[in-house]
Amino acid sequence: MTQLDVNLVEQLDDQARAILKANDRGGYTVPTDGLYPYQWNWDSAFAAFGFARFDLERAWLELETLFSGQWETGMVPHILFHEVDEGYFPGPDVWGCGRDLPSSGISQPPVAATFARKLFEQDPASGRDRIDDLFDRMIAWHRWFMEARAESGAIAITHPWESGRDNAFDWDKAMAAVDASQVKPYTRRDTTHVDASMRPTKFDYDRYIALVEFGRASDWNEAVIRDKSPFRMADPTMTFTLLRAHRDLLWLAEQTGRRGVEIEDWISGLEAGLGVLWNEAGGHFDALDLRTGRHSGSLSNASFLCWYGGVNEPRMQEHLDRALAGPSFGIASLSLQSPQFDPKRYWRGPVWGIMNTLIGMGLEEQGLTEQAGTLRRQTADLLAQHGFAEYYNPLDGTPAGGGTFTWTAAIWLSWASPSAGGR
């Protein structure tokens, strides 16, 4: 790792700010122009993290706009369809959620409370003015997770898209059991923007749509989906991000004079339930199929989110040291030693700046400062050499997916850039 030139850092900071501004749609930010034309849940929270480096007011607005689409159940959808874009599939007509602000019927990893805390810490005075309504909305979302998705002790997902790791190897066995025979012909948008070899296969996509159709037929009733959906998995990403978000929500409660007993109970509950995610055979955290009781056998970048969740698991140390030793630009989305590793295909091998960031934040906070520094430098080198792409080949850094990507620009500004100061 080499020290990045000061002038280069300034140029990259400028480029990152320009990307956030270019993807700004006035209150919300699209992930990248063209490929993703709407507001995505955890993308938006990362955008707020990035905006906070130069426009704190805009950062708060990003989170407030995200929660404007919250359902009466407390669920915050993974997509908000603010404007019509006929070319995007599946659009609001496919989801059929029937709300004033059209949305998808599933959620995404709850990182919003964590980044709301970051914004609050940056300026507590203005934060107290902005947090009241947002806090109530965040606690309702967290409560929804605990009531609707925590039956195993960990947090369940009902669709691979909900995990944020769309076509990860984790879901393969469970997805093979999903009947897609009744899915009607459709036209994907992603493969018109990005090389199909970098995206989920048609086999996967057919099953994604079958699960959307099941959810719609169930009127997005969580009890029906829990009992009857063919796909339900306890997910490390959802579990560790929610555990971390609970901790940050509790901190916000303490700062603003609120009672945190309910949140403390949620934290204790998730900590007690983490054992279901431990794959004893592989010696790592892993997704669990709640229909079959079997682990996926996947050592993924989600496995390393334990530290981000506040769980310092010594048995993960060997995996961490191996991953950081490379050859890689951080933590690949699937172990390089896995037979299913694919360096180019979405979540089946590529490295993601956002996951490096969350893992790095956790390592730093849990006292693994050397490893955190290594991961941060690897990420900074990756972005400095290969730009602000959606994801990258972990072996040589080749950019993949969408370009000029919001969340990659955001984590550069607020974490990876030497000018960020390791926030």
Q: What are the residues whose beta carbons fall under 8 Å from the beta carbon of 197, sequence distance 6 or more?
A: 344, 345
60-87 tens-digit pLDDT: 999 999 999 999 999 999 999 999 888 8
Is residue 187 pLDDT above 90, yes or no? Answer: no
Active site residues: 166, 390
Confidence (pLDDT) at 192: 63
Confidence (pLDDT) at 110: 98
User: Percent of the chain, pLDDT > 70?
Assistant: 97
Separation of CA 91 from chain center = 21
The answer to whether 309 and 273 have CB atoms below 8 angstroms apart is no
DSSP of 198-254, one letter per residue? GS--HHHHHHHHHHHHHHHHTTT-HHHHHHH-S--EE-HHHHHHHHHHHHHHHHHHH
Query: Which three-class secondary structure state does DSSP give residue 284?
Result: strand
**Cα 300 to Cα 125: distance, rounded to the nearest angstrom:** 39
pLDDT band at 194 (very low <50, low <70, confident <90, very high): low
Is residue 1 pLDDT above 50, yes or no? Answer: no
283-317 tens-digit pLDDT: 999 999 999 999 999 999 999 999 999 999 999 99
The answer to whether 284 and 240 have CB atoms below 8 angstroms apart is no
* Nearest partner of 24 among 5, 50, 53, judged by Cα: 50
Q: What is the pTM of this model?
A: 0.96
* Mean model confidence pLDDT for the chain: 95
Q: Which residues pair with 184 in a beta bridge?
A: none
* Nearest partner of 79 among 46, 128, 30, judged by Cα: 30
Query: Which three-class secondary structure state does DSSP give residue 24?
Result: strand
* Nearest partner of 337 among 233, 382, 328, judged by Cα: 328
Confidence (pLDDT) at 199: 73
C-alpha radius of gyration, the chain, whole number: 20
**Amino acid code (one letter) for 355:** M
Is residue 126 pLDDT above 80, yes or no? Answer: yes
Q: What are the residues whose beta carbons fall under 8 Å from the beta carbon of 184, sequence distance 6 or more?
A: none
Confidence (pLDDT) at 157: 98
